[in-house]
Amino acid sequence: MSVDRKTVAKIASLARIEMDGDALDRMVPEFNNILAWVEQLGEVDTSGVEPMTAVIPQALRLRDDVVDADPLTGGGIRDKVLANAPAPEHGFFGVPKVIE
């Protein structure tokens, strides 16, 4: 199945990647080449086959149900969390205004 420019533009919008006309013109044929190539998977008879859910079967562990069970991934580290933010404000992540 081949997709048109409008579809690629829609996908780019879903993926939140701005693409101008030139970028879309370049992407459409590349996108279709890759799709045409992966479509050979349709040849494989997968009736009765379960999709893989875990490459190495193992039970999912639960961490202890306590605050800061692991200090590396626990709370109380606001300044570290914000240290790389491009526009932190008053201890929060700053973003463009979202309410008029």
Partner 1 sequence: MTQLTDLGVKAIRDGVAAGEFSAREVAEAFNANVAAAKDLNAFIVATPEKALEAAAKVDADRAAGEPLASMAGVPIGMKDLFATKGVQTTAASHILDHFIPEYESAVSQKLWDAGAGMLGKLNMDQFAMGSSNETSFYGNVISPWRRKDGGNAPLAPGGSSGGSSTAVSARLCPAATGTDTGGSIRQPAAFTGICGIKPTYGRCSRWGIVAFASSLDQAGPMARSVEDCAIMLGAMAGFDPKDSTSLDMPVPDWAGALNADLRGKRVGIPREYRMDGMDAEIAASWDQGVAWLKDAGAEVVDISLPHTKYALPAYYIVAPAEASSNLARYDGVRYGLREMPERANLQEMYAATRAAGFGDEVKRRILIGTYVLSAGFYDAYYTQAMKVRTLIQRDFAAAFERCDVILAPTAPSAAFALGEKSDDPIAMYLNDVFAVPASLAGLPAMSVPAGLNSEGLPLGLQIIGKTFDEQGVLDAGLAIEQRAGFAARPERWW
Considering only residues 75 through 94, tell me which ones interact with partner 1, judged by CB under 8 A: 77, 80-81, 83-87, 93
64-70: long-range contacts at Cβ-Cβ below 8 A with a sequence spacing of 24 or more? Answer: none
- Would you say 65 or 70 has its CB closer to partner 1? 70
Judged by CB under 8 A, the chain residues 24 through 53 that form the site for partner 1 are: 27, 30-31, 33-35, 37-44, 46, 49-53
For residue 51, the number of C-alpha atoms closer than 13 Å in the C-beta half-sphere is: 1
Which listed residue (21, 60, 76, 91) binds partner 1 by CB under 8 A?
A: 60
Q: For residues 74 and 67, is the Cβ–Cβ distance under 8 A?
A: yes
